[in-house]
Structure 1
Amino acid sequence: MDNVEILSRLQFAFTIAFHYIYPPLSIGLGVCLVIMEGMYLKTHNKVYEELTRFWIRIFALIFGIGVATGIVMEFEFGTNWATYSRYVGDIFGSALAAEGIFAFALESGFLGILLFGWNKVSPRIHFMSTVLVALGSIFSAIWIVVANSWMQTPAGYRIQGHEMQARAVVTDFWEMVFNPSSVERLSHVLVGAFSAGSFLVLSVSAWYILKQRHLDHAKRGFRIGLYVASASALLSLFTGHTAADIVGEYQPTKMAAMEGHWDSLAAADAYLFGWVDKEKEVTTGLKVPGGLSFLIHQDFTTPVKGLKSFKPEDRPGAVNFVFQTYHIMVTIGMMLIALTLYALWLLWRGKLFETRWLMGVFVVSVLLPQIANQTGWYAAEVGRQPWVVYGLLRTSQALSDTVKAEHVLISLIMFTLVYLVLFLLFLYLLNKKIQHGPDTANTHQSAPFSTKNPDLYATR
C-alpha cells in the first residue's frame, strides 16, 4: 500500500468509527422511547410521561451529533475514492437515495412533533410520531447496511465498460437489496444497536439509583432498558451465528482470518482467545478443536478453507487485527448475556436495586455494546481486504487519481480536531441533561389524562 491508500483508509475508518457511535444509540433508544410512551398511554402514570420527555431530549442530542458527523463520509467518497464512486455509483447511490427518501425524511420530519408537539397534538398522534421516528432510524440502518452488504456479497448487477471506465449497473433492484448477506447482516446490526441504546438507559438509570435520585423514574427506566437489553443480548447469539454462516460461505478468506485458520486440509478450530503470527502462518491460543468446522458444517472433522488456500495478495493484510477484533466482539456479546440474565434473576427475586455493586457495573457497561459494535465493524471491513467490492474491485484500485498524501493527512488532522470538539461537546451536553434529570411534577404541571384532551401534554 502507498501512503495515499493508507491515509485514505485511516481517514475513512476514523470518520465512520466516530459516526458509528451515534446511530446505534438513536436506534436502540428509539425502541425504548416507544415502550416508555406506550406505557404512559396504557397506565396513565405521569412518571412514564416524565421519563419519555427526559429521554427524548437525549435522543435529540444524539440525533443531531449523528447527522453532523455522517455528512463528512459522503464527501470522502468523491474526494478520496472517486474510482470507487464511479464504479458503484448506480448501486450505492440508489441505496443512499432510498435512505434519504424513506428513512431520513421520515425520521427528521416527525422529530419536530416528537420534540415540540407535547402540547400541540393529541396523545395518540404524539405516540405515532415516536413510533415513526424510531422506524425512521431503523429504515436508515436498512439502506446503509444494504449498500454495504452489496459490497460484501454483490448481486443483481452487471459490469458495464472496461478497465478504468468499468462500472456496476443494477439489473435487478430487489436482488441487489436482498443480496446474500443483507438480511443476516442487518439483523445483527440492529440487535447491536438495540443493545447500545438500552444499555445507555441502564447506565443512566443505575447512576440515579446509586445516587438515590429520581428513584421511581430510574427503576421504571431500568426495567424497560433491561428487558430490551436482555432480548438483544440473547438474539445476538442467533444473528451472529447466521451472519457467520454467510461469511463462511461467501467470504472464506474473512472467516479464515477471523479464526486464524491456515491449513485447508485440517478441521478448523474455534479459538476462545489467541494470537496470529502472520509471518510463520500459525495461530496459538486456547481453542475448541474442530469448533469452527462444527459451526459451519455441524461436524467436528470436516475441513474448512484456510488462508493458505488463497494467494497472499488475496488475503486480508492484518490477519491478527481481524482475529482480535472478532474475538473481542464475541467475548463482549457473551458478557452482555451473562450480565443481563443475572440482573433479570435478581429482579425476579426482588433484590436487583439493592445490589449496589451491580448498579455500579451497569453504570460503566454502556461502553460494552459500543466496543462490540466497533470491533465487529472493524472485523467485517478489514476482513474483506484487499477488496473494497468483494471479488470485483480492489481497495488499491478505488482511490482518486489526483489526491496527494499530504492533502489527506492535513484533512485527517482537521477532522480529528473537529470531531474531538464535537465529542467533548456531546459529553458536556449529555452530562448536563443527566445531572438535571427528568422534570417531575414539582417542576411542571400537566393536564389530567384524557384521550380527548389535545393539551394533555401541556407543561406550563
Structure 2
Amino acid sequence: LGVWIFGEGRLSKKLHCLSIWLVAFGSNLSAFWILVANSFMQHPVGYTIANGRAEMTDFFALVTNPYVVGQYAHTVLSGIVTAGVIVVAVSAYRLLSGQNIDTFKTAIKSGIIYSLVGLFLVMGSGHLQAQFIGKNVPMKMAAMEALWETENPAPFTVIANIDTENKVNHDAIEVPYVLSLLIYDSPEGEVKGINELQEQYIQQYGYDDYIPNVVLLFWSFRIMIACGVAMIGAMLLAGLLFYTKRLENTRWFLNILVLLLPLPFIANSFGWIITEAGRQPWMVVGLQKVSDAVSQNITSTEVLITLIGFTLIYALLAVAAIFIALKFVKKDAHKMDDEGGQA
C-alpha cells in the first residue's frame, strides 16, 4: 500500500497498478480466512469433539461452510459499494467546484455504475444469507425481527416499540406475509418465535438466557436496510440525471451525493453488529458460550489493556489514512487543474 501511495510518478504505470492489485488481492484473501473462522463460530461444521475440545476433521467442509459463502459474498460486495460511493461523493464534490468537469463526469459515471452493480448484488447476497440464517440460525432471525411468537405466515415488522421485559411489541407497523416470503420464497412458511426457541434451547442445552439483544438487532437491521435503500435511490436518480445530461448542473443533488459518503460505512458497521450480537450468548453456536470461553491464563485487566491498545492503534491508522487520502485527492485535483484535466 505504501508503494502505491508514494510510488506514483516514481514507478512505471504497470508496476504502480500492480501494487494496488496486490493490496486488493491480499485484503480479499485475508477477509476470506477471517470469515471462515467467523462462520465456524456462527455455524460450526467439519469438526469432532475429542478430549473436550473441537478438532477439525474436514478442511473442505470448513472452507465451503454455507455460512461463509454468503458472508464472504456479502462482505466483498459491500466493499464494492463502499468504493463506488466514495468515487461518486468525491466526484460530486469536484463537480460542484466547476473545475475539470469532463474528468469528473467520467469518474462519477463509473462510480454510479459500480455502486449500482454492487448494491443490487449485495441485496441479492443479503437475501440469500437471510434465508440461510432463518432456517439454520433461527434465534438470530427472530431477534432481528423482534418476533416473540411463532407465526405462519410471518409478517415483516417495519417499526415497533419493543418491550423486552414483557416480550411484546407495541405500536408495531407490520407487512403481512413478507417475512415468510423472504425466508421461504413463499407467502406461507413457519418462522419460529423467540419464546419457543428459548424453551427449545433450554431443553437442548440447559437452563440459560439464549435471547440476544433484541432491540439492538432489530434496529441495526433496519438502519442497514435504510442506508441501502437510500443509496440505491440516490444512485438510480444520479444515473437518470447523468443520462439526461443534467447531473453536473443539478447542484442540490450533487450536494446530496457528497453527503452519501458515510452511508456505506454505517451500513457495514451495523451489518457486523447484527452478525456478532446475533450469535450471543454463544462464542460458537451450540458448542461454547461466551461465559465459558474466558481464558484462565490472562486477567481482565490484561484484556482491557490489549483492547485499549488495539483501539488506539487503529484510531491512529484511521486518522493517518484519512489525512493521506485527503492530501492525495487535493494534490491530484490541483494537478488536474494545472494540466487542464488531463492528469
Structure 2 match to 1:15: none
Q: Does 1:353 align with 2:248?
A: yes
Identical-pair percentage: 33
Structure 1 match to 2:46: 156
Contact 1:214 1:437 in 2 (8 A): no
Contact 2:100 2:336 in 1 (8 A): no
- Aligned 1:324-335 pairs, distance under 5 A: 324-335=219-230
Tell me how far 1:265 sits from its aligned partner. 4.7
The structure 1 residue matched to 2:37, chosen from 147, 165, 170, is 147
The structure 2 residue matched to 1:268, chosen from 147, 154, 172, is 154
Amino acid at match of 2:176: P
Count of residue pairs the alignment pairs up: 332
Q: Which stretches in structure 2 are left out of the alignment for 5+ residues?
A: 200-207
Between the aligned partners of 1:434 and 1:113, the Cα distance in structure 2 is 14
Tell me how far 1:300 sits from its aligned partner. 2.8
Cα 1:398–1:324 change in 2 (3 A) is same
Structure 1 match to 2:96: 210
Between the aligned partners of 1:220 and 1:274, the Cα distance in structure 2 is 44
Structure 2 match to 1:76: none
Amino acid at match of 2:98: Q
Contact 1:114 1:126 in 2 (8 A): no
Q: Does 1:287 align with 2:182?
A: no
Q: Does 1:373 align with 2:268?
A: yes
Q: Which stretches in structure 1 are left out of the alignment for 5+ residues?
A: 1-59, 61-110, 445-458
Cα 1:183–1:207 change in 2 (3 A) is same
- Aligned 1:86-165 pairs, distance under 5 A: 112=3, 116=7, 120-121=11-12, 123-124=13-14, 126-162=16-52
Q: Does 1:386 align with 2:281?
A: yes
- Aligned 1:39-54 pairs, distance under 5 A: none
Tell me how far 1:200 sits from its aligned partner. 1.3
The CA deviation string for residues 285-319 of structure 1, in whole angstroms up to 9 with x for no partner, is: 22212211121123334321111112373533311
Between the aligned partners of 1:420 and 1:289, the Cα distance in structure 2 is 44
Between the aligned partners of 1:416 and 1:120, the Cα distance in structure 2 is 34
- Any idea what SS the aligned residue of 1:437 has? helix
Amino acid at match of 1:336: M
Cα 1:417–1:297 change in 2 (3 A) is closer
- Any idea what SS the aligned residue of 1:137 has? helix
Cα 1:143–1:421 change in 2 (3 A) is closer
Contact 1:259 1:269 in 2 (8 A): no
Contact 1:114 1:129 in 2 (8 A): no
The CA deviation string for residues 151-190 of structure 1, in whole angstroms up to 9 with x for no partner, is: 111111212212xxx2x22212111100121111111111
- Aligned 1:235-274 pairs, distance under 5 A: 235-274=121-160
Cα 1:385–1:369 change in 2 (3 A) is same
- TM-score of the superposed pair, with normalisation by structure 1: 0.66
- TM-score of the superposed pair, with normalisation by structure 2: 0.87
- Per mean C-alpha deviation after superposition, the further-off stretch among 427-436 and 277-286 is 427-436
The CA deviation string for residues 62-90 of structure 1, in whole angstroms up to 9 with x for no partner, is: xxxxxxxxxxxxxxxxxxxxxxxxxxxxx
Between the aligned partners of 1:244 and 1:148, the Cα distance in structure 2 is 16
- Per mean C-alpha deviation after superposition, the further-off stretch among 394-403 and 177-186 is 394-403
Between the aligned partners of 1:152 and 1:113, the Cα distance in structure 2 is 36
Between the aligned partners of 2:74 and 2:160, the Cα distance in structure 1 is 24
The CA deviation string for residues 192-235 of structure 1, in whole angstroms up to 9 with x for no partner, is: 11111111111211111112234333222212111111111111
The structure 2 residue matched to 1:311, chosen from 178, 189, 198, is 198
Contact 1:388 1:395 in 2 (8 A): yes
Tell me how far 1:420 sits from its aligned partner. 4.2
Amino acid at match of 1:300: P
Between the aligned partners of 1:370 and 1:329, the Cα distance in structure 2 is 10
- Any idea what SS the aligned residue of 2:169 has? strand
Contact 2:81 2:118 in 1 (8 A): yes
- Any idea what SS the aligned residue of 1:310 has? helix
Contact 1:194 1:228 in 2 (8 A): yes
The CA deviation string for residues 321-349 of structure 1, in whole angstroms up to 9 with x for no partner, is: 01110111111111111111111111111
Between the aligned partners of 2:337 and 2:86, the Cα distance in structure 1 is 26
Structure 1 match to 2:202: none
Between the aligned partners of 1:416 and 1:187, the Cα distance in structure 2 is 27
Tell me how far 1:377 sits from its aligned partner. 0.7
Structure 1 match to 2:329: 434
Structure 2 match to 1:223: 109
Structure 1 match to 2:215: 320
- Any idea what SS the aligned residue of 1:440 has? helix
The CA deviation string for residues 85-119 of structure 1, in whole angstroms up to 9 with x for no partner, is: xxxxxxxxxxxxxxxxxxxxxxxxxx737853755
